[in-house]
């Protein structure tokens, strides 16, 4: 039986490429069905087409001549089919003797093809060659050893999808929206009037979000067009119009008016802007790396664990308390809505009151916005523990204070002087459970603003900030120790930095010594 290339794993892994004819075939499917399709669906259709195409080619070719085998002999004028050459058919026009010391005597046949130059092939050659295995006519072949087309789809769909997606992306005739592909020239016309009406509808809805289907109800696109194509066409028109922003989570398309999005969603708040600091991660010990994992800073470069259980507990840092945000950290990514868009609109639900709050995932800035009022209402301190879990409905995330109860506690309090941080231990009212190593009370927000402004306007280095802040924290401990998490929390009052660069600076300075459990002391001078 002739070995078909679609049955050969090496064809799919090494040889398969999407051709212009393949794209034309897929275009025909899209035209006939008038339905956008995912790359997975298109890959399945293409594999089935290629398998059937090859079957038809084999059947037509074998009618025209004898399958070529090096061991066989041929006569002048005989038609021969060459499976290895995509079943091209040629005519034997000459035969001559051949000899090879390794193989002995054989024949050489010259074959003329309809296109291209004549070629020569070995014949009457008794050697171990894959083409010399016994072959049967296709009509007599036993197909029990062949994979079915459906099996080939399951085996190679992911490989074909990756190659096909690259081809579709490089072809301007195809467009992708919400994971589905369609031909650009087949879209329903969505004119300026339709888009202006969509803007008005979103404006009346306080900017959104609204689904495409809801918007379509008032736009009166042609009813004879399938609903799927109308939806796809409107989605494309909205996507290329800068007035609109797609803010739906994965699997859902929702639209919002860009001009009505909060400023902190369109532009990363200044207190969250991180300028990457070069450092050598190899300087950090396993104990330091474990701390960095525990702190779960959104700008840490450590590999995240896939095993995340709910509820997820985080410690609130100053930059996020100040900005009314949360870190889109490795652990919280498992809880909050993700998707293909830069900004994702969802709802936060207060576990205590049931109140719902509009909120946003801002993927590029690695933060979640929408908690400024909630922080102020509940007087949430820097260093507070907050817990999150997915709600009963899609797109809703439940937030709760960890062990909310009011009591007065001795905590460190930031007392800036002339833009420099100093600290004291004071008794203050605390409303929730907190991280003892990271809690920092504030007496005057304007004084803290001056700390941030000084650090940035004077371009103060991380090393200098550590040298200023470390002694101030050390004086609060009888042993003069400072926990790295405390220093991290305090440093972020002045600049935004993840733990890694700070820990590396401690190691590299020669000024500080680790004393165990991530505590450090000022090194005694000789």
Segment 330-368, tens digit of pLDDT: 999 999 988 888 999 999 999 999 999 999 999 999 999
Segment 369-408, tens digit of pLDDT: 999 999 999 999 999 999 999 999 888 999 999 887 889 9
pLDDT given for residue 478 in this prediction: 94
Q: How many CB atoms lie within 10 A of CB 86?
A: 10
- Judged against a pLDDT cut of 50, whether residue 282 lies above it is answered with yes
Contact 260, 206 (CB under 8 A): yes
Please calculate the CA angle 130-131-137 and round it to the nearest 5 degrees.
Answer: 125
pLDDT given for residue 138 in this prediction: 43
Task: Give percent of the chain with pLDDT exceeding 90.
Answer: 71
Contact 496, 274 (CB under 8 A): yes
Please name the residues in contact with 36: beta carbons below 8 A apart, sequence gap of 6 or more: 30, 177, 180, 181, 182, 228, 229, 232
Segment 440-487, tens digit of pLDDT: 998 878 899 999 999 999 999 999 999 999 999 999 999 999 999 999
The label of the residue with tokens 């039986």 reads 1
pLDDT given for residue 525 in this prediction: 63
How far apart are alpha carbons 427 and 412 in whole angstroms? 9
Contact 237, 194 (CB under 8 A): yes
pLDDT given for residue 136 in this prediction: 44
Contact 158, 44 (CB under 8 A): no
Q: How many CB atoms lie within 10 A of CB 392?
A: 7
How far apart are alpha carbons 67 and 120 in whole angstroms? 15
Segment 174-231, tens digit of pLDDT: 999 878 899 999 899 999 999 999 999 999 999 999 999 999 988 888 888 888 889 9
How far apart are alpha carbons 464 and 419 in whole angstroms? 14
Contact 440, 489 (CB under 8 A): yes
Six-digit token pair at 239? 């996507």
* Axis crossing angle, helix 499-509 with helix 286-295, rounded to the nearest 10: 150
Mean pLDDT of the chain: 90
pLDDT grade for 125, boundaries at 50, 70 and 90: confident
- Judged against a pLDDT cut of 50, whether residue 134 lies above it is answered with no
b vs e for 102-119, b when ≥16 Cβ sit within 10 Å of the residue's Cβ? eeeebbbbbbeeeeeeee
pLDDT given for residue 133 in this prediction: 52
Nearest to 47 by CA among 163, 173, 194: 163
Nearest to 68 by CA among 93, 88, 50, 52: 88
- Judged against a pLDDT cut of 70, whether residue 130 lies above it is answered with no
Beta strand pairing call for 441-442 and 407-414? parallel
pLDDT grade for 2, boundaries at 50, 70 and 90: low
Six-digit token pair at 438? 């990271």
**What is the torsional sign of CA 228, 233, 238, 239?**
positive
Six-digit token pair at 172? 């301007």
Q: Using CB atoms within 10 A of its CB, is residue 193 exposed (0-12), middle (13-18) or buried (19+)?
A: exposed
b vs e for 303-326, b when ≥16 Cβ sit within 10 Å of the residue's Cβ? eeeeeeeeebebbbbbbbbbbbbb
pLDDT given for residue 126 in this prediction: 79
């Amino acid at each position: 039986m002739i070995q078909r290339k679609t049955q050969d794993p090496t064809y799919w892994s090494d040889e398969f490429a999407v051709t212009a004819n393949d794209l034309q075939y897929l275009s025909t499917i899209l035209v006939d069905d008038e339905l956008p399709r995912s790359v997975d669906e298109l890959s399945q259709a293409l594999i089935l087409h290629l398998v059937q195409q090859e079957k038809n080619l084999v059947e037509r070719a074998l009618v025209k001549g004898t399958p070529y085998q090096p061991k066989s002999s041929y006569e002048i004028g005989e038609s021969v089919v060459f499976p290895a050459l995509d079943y091209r058919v040629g005519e034997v026009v000459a035969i001559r003797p051949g000899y090879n010391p390794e193989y002995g005597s054989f024949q050489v046949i010259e074959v003329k093809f309809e296109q291209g130059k004549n070629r020569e092939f070995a014949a009457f050659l008794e050697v171990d060659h894959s083409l010399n295995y016994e072959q049967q006519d296709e009509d007599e072949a036993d197909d029990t050893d062949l994979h079915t087309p459906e099996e080939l789809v399951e085996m190679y769909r992911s490989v074909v999808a990756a190659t096909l997606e690259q081809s579709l992306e490089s072809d301007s005739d195809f467009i992708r929206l919400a994971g589905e592909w369609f031909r650009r020239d087949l879209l329903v016309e969505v004119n300026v009037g339709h888009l202006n009406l969509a803007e008005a509808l979103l404006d009346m809805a306080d900017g959104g979000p609204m689904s495409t289907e809801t918007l379509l109800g008032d736009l009166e696109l042609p009813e004879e067009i399938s609903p799927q194509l109308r939806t796809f066409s409107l989605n494309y028109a909205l996507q290329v119009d800068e007035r609109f922003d797609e803010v739906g989570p994965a699997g859902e398309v929702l639209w919002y008016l860009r001009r009505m999005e909060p400023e902190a969603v369109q532009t990363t708040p200044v207190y969250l802007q991180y300028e990457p600091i070069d450092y050598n991660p190899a300087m950090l010990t396993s104990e330091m790396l474990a701390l960095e994992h525990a702190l779960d800073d959104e700008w840490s470069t450590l590999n995240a664990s896939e095993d995340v259980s709910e509820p997820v507990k985080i410690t609130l840092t100053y930059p996020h308390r100040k900005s009314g945000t949360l870190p889109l950290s490795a652990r919280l990514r498992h809880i909050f809505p993700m998707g293909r868009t830069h900004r994702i609109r969802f709802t936060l639900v207060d576990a205590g009151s049931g109140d719902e709050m509009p909120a946003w995932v801002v993927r590029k800035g690695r933060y979640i916005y929408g908690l400024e009022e909630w922080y102020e209402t509940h007087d949430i301190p820097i260093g507070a523990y907050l817990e999150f879990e997915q709600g009963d409905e899609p797109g809703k995330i439940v937030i709760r204070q960890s062990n909310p109860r009011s009591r007065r506690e001795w905590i460190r309090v930031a007392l800036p002087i002339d833009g420099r941080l100093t600290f004291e231990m004071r008794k203050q009212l605390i409303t929730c459970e907190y991280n003892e190593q990271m809690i920092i009370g504030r007496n005057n927000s304007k004084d803290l603003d001056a700390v941030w402004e000084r650090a940035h306007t004077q371009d103060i280095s991380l090393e200098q900030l550590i040298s200023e802040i470390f002694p101030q924290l050390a004086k609060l401990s009888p042993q003069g120790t400072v926990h790295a998490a405390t220093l991290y929390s305090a440093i972020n009052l002045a600049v935004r930095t993840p733990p890694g660069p700070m820990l590396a600076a401690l190691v590299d300075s020669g000024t500080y010594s680790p004393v165990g459990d991530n505590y450090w002391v000022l090194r005694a001078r000789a």
